[in-house]
Amino acid sequence: MSLLISCDKDSKEMGGCLNEQSDNYNPLAVTDSGDCIPWNRKYEGDYSFKQLCQSGSSTVFDVYCVGGFKNDEILLKRKSDNSLFITLICTSKLEFVIPKQQTITSTNIIEVEGEGKYNESSKEITFNYSLLSILFGTTADCDVKLVRK
């Protein structure tokens, strides 16, 4: 058995991602290699949107796009016109809240608030929220599933 120990200052130190919040964090890395992948990029992509509300109505919308990250925010946008639908605020790498906010659809102004999660294996975003139709004065509890295309 032999053991090789080097105190040479010029020896290569193990490089890798040193940001613990990144998906490719390397706890063994000594130097930052600059290749950290922001953890919230896992959400990025195009999704089909299916909504089931308390009233029993099921709505399938256009493809939605997740992107435009800013700190812990994830923006859910309509793919057809790139307009903002809702903003999700991440509370962990796989969970988020939907703070109370208003969004405009082609036929309504709605107020949403809720919470959800991301399933890494199925690449699905699911959330529930309370919906208030400003124009019609109705409320509903809705469950939404976004499936990665």
Residues in the chain: 149
Q: Provide the pLDDT for residue 68.
A: 52
CA atoms within 13 Å, Cβ hemisphere of 2: 1
| Count of helix runs (H) and strand runs (E) in the chain | 0, 10
Reported as a single tens digit per residue, the pLDDT across 35-45 is 888 777 777 77
Contacts of 65 (CB under 8 A, 6+ apart): 45, 46, 47, 76, 77, 78, 79, 82
Q: Are strands 124-133 and 109-119 parallel, antiparallel or unpaired?
A: antiparallel
Structure-model confidence comparison of residues 139 and 38, the more confident one: 139
Average pLDDT, the chain: 76
pLDDT > 90 in the chain, percent: 6
Identify whether the C-beta of residue 126 lies closer than 8 Å to the C-beta of residue 145: yes
Q: What is the pTM of this model?
A: 0.63
Reported as a single tens digit per residue, the pLDDT across 54-72 is 765 545 445 555 655 566 7
CA-closest candidate to residue 146, choices 52, 82, 81: 52
Domains of the chain with bracketed CATH: 40-148 (2.40.128.420)
